[in-house]
Amino acid sequence: MVISNFWSVDDSPSAITFATTLRFKTGRWRQLRPVYLPKAAPCREACPAGVDMALALEHASQGRFAEAAQIIRDENPLAGVCGRVCPHPCEEACNRKEFDAPLAIKEMERFLADQGWESAPPVSSAARKESRVAVVGSGPAGLSCAYFLSRLGYRVTLYEATRQLGGVLRTGIPQYRLPKEALDREIRGILNTGVQIKLRKRLGAELRWEELHGYAAVFLAPGFAESRRLNLANEDAAGVISGIDFLRQVNERRFRPLGKAALVIGGGDVAVDAGRCALRQGYLQVTIVSLETREEMPAVAEAVAEAEQEGLKLVCGAAPVKITTRSGATRAVEFVEGQLTGFGPDGQPRLEKRPGSGFSIPADLLITAVGQRPELGILPEEVKTGPRGILVDEWGQTSLAGVYAGGDVTEAKGTVVAAIASGKKAALAIDRNLAGKGAEEISQIGVGRKGSMSFALYINGEEPSDLSKVVTFADINLDYFENQDRLDPKKAGSKKRLASFAEVNLGFGAEDALKEGARCFNCGHCTKCDNCLIFCPDMAITRDGSVLGYQINYDYCKGCALCAQECPRRVVTTIEEQP
Amino acid sequence: MNMLLTGDHAVAYGVKLVKVEVIAAYPITPQTPIYEKLSDLTISGELNARMIRVESEQSAMAACMGASLAGARVFTATASQGLAMMHELLHFAAGDRLPIVMVNVNRSIAAPWSFWSDQTDSLSQRDTGWVQIYSENNQEALDNLIQAYRVAEEVLLPVMVVIEAFLISHTTEPVEMPDPQQVDRYLPPYSGQYRLDVNDPRTIGSTTTQEQYREFRYKMQRDMETVKGVVEKADREFKEIFNRGYGLVEEYQCHDAQMVLVTSGTIAGTARDVVDELRGKGKSVGLVKIRLFRPFPGERIRQALSGASKIAVLDRNVSLGHGGIFCQEVKAALANVVGHAPVFGFLAGVGGCDVSPALLEEVVEYMEKHTQPKEDYIWVR
Amino acid sequence: MKFQLPETDLIYSGHPACPGCGAALALRFALKALGTKVMLVMPACCAVVITGPYPTTCMKVPVFHTAFATAAAVASGLKHGLEAKGDYETTVVGWAGDGGTYDIGFQALSGAVDRNEDFIYVCYDNEGYMNTGIQKSSATPWKAWTGTTPYGKDMPKKDMMEILAAHRIPYAANASVGFPDDLIRKIKKAMSIRGSKFIHILAPCPPGWKSSDHLTVKLARLAVDTKIFPLYEVEAGWNYTINRVPKGLPVEEYLKLQGRYSHLSEQEMRDIQQQVDWEWELLLKKAGMNSG
């Protein structure tokens, strides 16, 4: 029996503390482990170029426009172009859509891109590589590929068939949508990364295939060479012109208008642009006839609405059956109503015609804008092609080793941003292949599940993020956001528009950008709001100098997950603790 | 300086002399003259203390605890029901080792309502860790109060000075008022060793394990044992300055007495006269007055009673089911003394009934007639 | 939006509060405002456990653990004692749960604020005796399950703010751990006022409310935005200010996240809604006194 066994380390007569609770590692109770894991915003997933707008808009909302622009250019060197002409699938995906209205992402992108390239990313000399890569074609795919390759340190030679860079961006998009200055600014920025250019080098003519043999890799992006035909009689009559030729002539100020009535056949952006250009060229009656219904038309809806404001007439669900001429020049086109049922393997539409529904529309100028096709005959046999273009895998690799292709020359979807994405992916694949690795190894830089890639993640190496996870609307803690109307930019009045080719969309000013930028949920991107730190009942979260900005002390984190719940934008998530 | 004072007022002047800084109180008969007098003294500025006029005795003790935690010298007074209401806080004050001094005016405890002197209220608190000192008269009430602060602040345990309803509280007697400067010399300011301090932040009174709790109880018991020496020293030094002393127990005519009366409080004064009276009649009678009840001075009592052949303990209280409480304690103190004298337990003065000299003489006669008590306790009137 | 709160924390990690504890959050936020020149008096309540077992403490300021009924009285004495020793600066805070405030400590609180003692009394309200394992207090809301109200409490929650306001104390305020900036502002305001201040903080309790650990803050916000626990303050007993216009969400949004209400019928939900609406109208009338 122990009569007295007292161990007091403290002489105080009553229970007066002399130690802290830090000795209790209450983290042992934890069943859920919170982790900081930045994720992809749905806009980024939806953007084929994978632009990180959630991060860019955080900078923008704080007035750091140059930083914001740089973040965009890390994924897309043609932001000023996309900010004008992209159909912005990002806005369709925006989580804010379910709260009040999606962010005006496209307008933000345009505003930020227009802030200039002052902070163009330098390519360090250490990163310079000896390998030379050829890029054929200077449209969006070629420019994109050249830019990303150059940033990866390659010596890039960019071949262009004409005297000016830009491809379809210069010739195919009217200036009231994409002013020359905006395009030139982007091209200058891309060239400043160290891209060599060779103009007037058309593949199969001035540029022979053999000349490309000296390059470690080749990226083919010559775009479309020819327009699809209507396959009607009199299609070669005077006054008939393809949409792409018409736009090129207008852009090069070579078009000579004749007559009063212009008719455009087609439902895509080229058709709408052609119609609007015709209005600006002085045609008093301009009609677009589209096979598709209004909802099915591939043209950007906003542009269609603008065109109608300007006086253009739109007829949907009809197909041309006859071009009538007088003295070898077009006079009118006869149509029959019907329903589009699909496209043939060669891209030709199939129509179920409604008998007896014919009508005629006068046409002093007939613009055919029913699609274009690449010229594939100049390619060596080893580069396999399909009916609509070069066959490539998802990284742009053709059937010939070392040769990649992107943009309209492939069977890809024909938007500018898709072309940009194809150039970027090919650049990434070229880099990995020249480094002796397979393209599949770069799958961890994928953004979401729709094929977008993060170039920033690729060059910055491992970052504690999981861009394969996309933040949903349910993930957003709405308590930290208030409803606010979406800002939309002013547009020039329709009369004023028709007087020139000045840009219709007047864009955002700095105040608009600050205000609209602040609406962004910044899905999946930590804005250092401190909520996680503030609402931790266990003081287990502290700020640190890391990329994430915070650190969790798992000695004390009990796993209540308040940090995850109170994270407004689902940066903090929890995982089951392994026993 | 001599003053004619009631016991309550003597206490109030004692509070002034020891320069109490915070007082918290709630009125209850027969404590109210203390409360009122202290109100006068603080409002007039004679006593520079803060008076918290709380809404209950529980809060009175709680407020004293708070003030004591700030390092202040504190005081409260109560009686009977009030003391009972404080019960939980008495444990807290002792367990937190706060040197609070309280005067309890013994008053019979309800039900039924009654107002007269009965020690059961304070004795019911004997296990709370408070030092208990019982006073015989107004002078001792005052002197005990001054000594109580010396004891409390040295051992860091609270001290209850007990006086009796009306017999002391409202009875006017001449009281020698100590010189304030001499009191200052006797009682230095309280250092507040274990107070709350924003510059040394600690938590007081946290939850403990069984082992830790046992350790703190051990320390309290150990320190309670030292109280006897501390009380004796405080009394001795008090006597050196003020020429009055009381001891833990007072032995009166005990050295050769065959029959010894053991009692406390005001009954002791009466008993002293009865001893003189009976000694005059040739009876061998002595008196032991117990002044310090907690901690219980068992050794001193065994010494005082070592020559007695019969012992009578007179209790102005009753532990229902086991008789007089002083008697139980005396019996327990003697339990291991082989062949000790028989102990007669008399319940005298319960409820404030008068304990007259005649009654005490009857008690002595009873002892003379009986070799052994027939009952464990004997009701007398 | 971003909360701008004082940086310093005066609590150590490792305290034994349950995961997701609202009371621990309340303590953390309040101390951010109170700073180091403060002493806390805690009666029996969860905070006693949270501060840590002897010989440890999670508190970086002095704390005294007292008897259940006595927080306000000890705080009174402590403040007087400090002033008696010449310290007029240190803030004294009574830190009590709802049981120690609404029930057993109510007499001492009423007495102390009647004397207009110079302290801040904080009731962190988890709406029941949670430390003892979920029993009903007079702060338990109408129809809520507890271990002693197995079919739901039959009476509404006692209106403690009104009772304190009726003492005509200088300042009384409702706060919620869901709105830490408001909570901290109120504590700071209380520190600037002499006399008795009452701060009533709603502190959700995952085990007691049978809610998920991670919903503590959400519930604290929902209580406000359903008008069940409006954020308001009362100066001098009559000057009412509503600090946040509730979103007016249906009470069901709040109740359905808590297992203690899982037994409610749709009719009972409507009854609670009606009661809450009525109380809110009453509060609006009182706040109207302000402008009228």
Q: What is the mean pLDDT of residues A426-435?
A: 91
Give the pLDDT of residue A574.
Answer: 95
For residue B256, give the amino acid letter: D
Give the model's pLDDT for residue A6: 54
Find the CB nearest A562 among C9, C217, C221.
C217
In terms of Cα–Cα distance, which of A193, A116, A120, A110 is closest to A154?
A: A193
Q: Cα(A392)–Cα(A411) distance, rounded to whole angstroms?
A: 8
Q: What is the pLDDT of residue A226?
A: 80
pLDDT at A118 over 70: no
Cβ-defined contact of A560 to C213 (cutoff 8 Å): yes
In this prediction, residues B1-11 reach a mean pLDDT of 96
Task: Tell me the CA end-to-end span of chain A in Å, nearest whole number.
Answer: 41
Q: Considering chain B, what percentage of its residues have pLDDT values greater than 90? A: 98
- For the record, the structure tokens of B339 come out as 């062949």
What integer pLDDT is reported at residue A437 of this predicted model? 67
Which residue's structure tokens are 């008897």? C67
Residue A101 has pLDDT above 90, yes or no: yes
Rounded to a whole number, what is the distance in Å from the CA of A23 to chain C's nearest CA? 7
B12: Cβ contacts below 8 Å, ≥ 6 apart: B33, B34, B37, B38, B41
Q: How far apart are CA B98 and CA B68, in angstroms?
A: 6
CA distance C245 to chain A (A): 14
All residues of chain B having their beta carbon less than 8 Å from the beta carbon of residue C62 are 196-198, 201-204
Write out chain B residues lying below 8 Å of A12, CB-based: 194
Please count the other Cβ atoms lying within 10 Å of the Cβ belonging to residue B46: 12
Cα Rg of chain A, angstroms: 29
Integer angstrom CA distances of residue B102 from A346, B30, B60, B177, B227: 107, 14, 10, 20, 17
**B194 touching chain A per CB within 8 A:** yes
Q: What is the pLDDT of residues A56-89, one digit of tens each?
A: 999 999 999 999 999 999 999 999 999 999 999 9
Q: Say if residues C144 and C130 touch (Cβ distance below 8 Å).
A: no
- Which residues in chain C are closer than 8 Å to B68, comparing Cβ atoms? 77, 81
Rounded CA-CA distance C282/B104 in Å is 49
Amino acid A373: pLDDT: 82
Q: Is B196 on the interface with C (CB under 8 A)?
A: yes
Q: Is residue A520 packed enough to be buried (19+ CB in 10 Å), middle (13-18) or exposed (0-12)?
A: buried
* Nearest residue to A297 via CA among A314, A278, A277: A314
Is B97 an interface residue toward A (CB < 8 Å)? yes
The first and second tokens of residue A522, run together, are 């910044």
The pLDDT of residue A1 is 45
Please tell me the distance from the alpha carbon of residue C60 to that of residue A60, in angstroms, as a whole number. Answer: 41
Nearest CA in chain A to B213: A15
C189 touches chain A (CB under 8 A): no
What is the token pair recorded at A290? 């589209």
Q: Is C5 on the interface with A (CB under 8 A)?
A: yes
Tokens read off for B166: 């009306």
Give the predicted TM-score (pTM) of the model: 0.90
- B202/A8 CB distance under 8 A: no
Closest Cβ opposite residue B206 in set A8, A13, A15: A15
State how far the Cα of C63 lies from the Cα of A374, in Å rounded to an integer: 81
Name all chains with 3 or more CB-CB pairs below 8 Å to chain A: B, C
ipTM: 0.96
Residues of A at the B interface, defined by Cβ within 8 angstroms = 4, 6-8, 12-18
Nearest Cα residue to A223 out of A451, A426, A422, A425: A422
- Residue A375 confidence (pLDDT): 81
Could you give the CA distance from residue C123 to residue C41 in angstroms, rounded to a whole number?
Answer: 12
- pLDDT reported for residue A371: 85
Query: Given pLDDT bands bounded at 50, 70 and 90, which one contains residue A120?
Result: low
Rounded mean pLDDT of C96-122? 98
A33-59 residue pLDDT tens: 999 999 999 999 999 999 999 999 999
Q: Please indicate whether, in this complex, the C-beta atoms of B218 and A4 are within 8 angstroms of each other.
A: yes
* Mean pLDDT, residues B116-141 taken together: 98
Q: Report the range of poorest mean pLDDT among A98-107, A345-354, C240-249.
A: A345-354
| pLDDT tens-digit series, residues A463-491 | 778 889 999 999 999 999 999 999 999 98
- Secondary structure letter of residue A192 according to DSSP: T
Dihedral sign, CA of A493, A498, A500, A502? Answer: positive
- The upper half-sphere exposure of residue B85, i.e. CA atoms within 13 Å in the direction of its Cβ, equals 21
Residues of A in contact with B216 (CB under 8 A): 13-15
Nearest-CB residue to B196 (from C57, C64, C114): C64
Which of A12, A558, A572 is best to mutate for the C interface (most C CBs within 10 A)? A558
The one-letter amino acid code at A221 reads A
From the CA of C233, how many Å to the nearest CA of chain A? 23
Say yes or no for a CB contact (<8 Å) between B201 and C62: yes
C-beta separation of A442 from A432 below 8 A = yes
Residues on chain C touching B62 (C-beta within 8 angstroms): 66-67, 69-70, 73-74, 76-77, 108
- Which range (A18-22, A228-232, B174-178, B326-330) has the least confidence? A228-232
Residue A564: closest C-alpha in chain C: C214
How many CB atoms are located within 10 Å of the residue C181 CB?
14
3-class DSSP assignment, residue B209: coil
Range in A234-238, A339-343, C159-163 with the lowest mean pLDDT: A339-343
| B264, B289 Cβ separation under 8 angstroms | yes
Residue A144: φ, ψ to 5°: -65, -50
B202: nearest CB among A4, A13, A16? A16
CA atoms B335, B341, B347, B353: torsion sign: negative
Instruction: Please state, rounded to an integer, the average pLDDT across all residues of chain A.
Output: 90
Which helix (DSSP H) or strand (DSSP E) does residue B43 occupy? helix B32-44
pLDDT band at B301 (very low <50, low <70, confident <90, very high): very high
Residue A427: which of A146, A197, A235, A202 has the closest Cα?
A: A146
* Amino acid identity, position B107: R
- The CA distance from A557 to C19, in Å, is 9
Please give the structure tokens belonging to residue B356.
Answer: 């007259």
Q: Which residue of A has its CA nearest to C52?
A: A21
Return the structure tokens found at A182: 């905006």
User: Model confidence at A356, in pLDDT bands (50, 70, 90)?
Assistant: confident
Residue B183 forms contact with C (CB below 8 Å) = no
Between CA C159 and CA C138 the distance in angstroms is 9
Mark yes or no for CB contact C77/B212 under 8 Å.
no
Return the closest-CA partner of residue A398 out of A386, A387, A413.
A386
pLDDT of residue A231: 86
Whether the predicted pLDDT of C165 surpasses 50:
yes
Tell me the chain B residues in contact with residue C57 when contact means C-beta distances shorter than 8 Å: 202-203, 206
Q: Is residue B50 less than 8 Å (CB to CB) from chain C? A: yes
Judged by CB atoms closer than 8 Å, whether chains meet at B69 and C54 is answered as: no
| Token pair for A287 | 């009609």
Residue A559 has pLDDT above 60, yes or no: yes
Answer yes or no: is pLDDT of A355 > 90.
no
Rounded-to-integer distance, Cα B161 and Cα B292, Å: 10
So what's the pLDDT on residue C290?
42
pLDDT (average), residues A110-119: 83
Share of chain B above pLDDT 70, in %: 100
User: Mind telling me how many Å the CA of C115 is from chain A's nearest CA?
Assistant: 30
**d(Cα A169, Cα A183) in Å, to the nearest integer?**
8
Q: Hey, which chains touch B, using 3+ CB pairs under 8 Å?
A: A, C
Query: Using CA atoms, how far apart are residues B94 and A238, in angstroms rounded to an integer?
Result: 114
Alpha-carbon gap, residue A172 to A371, rounded angstroms: 12
CB C170 within 8 A of CB C193: yes
Chain A residues in contact with C5 (beta carbon < 8 A): 530, 534
Nearest to C57 among A9, A17, A558 (CB): A17
Q: Which residue of A has its CA nearest to C20?
A: A560
Q: Are strands A329-343 and A349-353 parallel, antiparallel or unpaired?
A: antiparallel
Please give the Cα distance from A134 to A145 (Å, whole number): 10
Q: What is the DSSP string of C215-269?
A: GHHHHHHHHHHTTSS--EEEETTTEEEE-S------HHHHHTT-GGGTT--HHHH
**Distance separating alpha carbons of residues A257 and A248, to the nearest angstrom:** 14
Q: What is the mean pLDDT of residues A425-430?
A: 94
Whether C220 has a pLDDT exceeding 60, the answer reads yes
- pLDDT at A529 > cutoff 60: yes
Least confident of A13-22, A96-105, A113-122, A227-236: A113-122
CA distance C50 to B320: 42
**pLDDT at residue A121, as a whole number:** 62
So what's the pLDDT on residue C291? 35
* pLDDT the model gives residue A242: 93
C292 has a pLDDT exceeding 50: no
Nearest CA in chain B to C62: B201
Does residue A347 have a pLDDT over 70?
no
Stretch A131-160: mean pLDDT, rounded?
A: 95
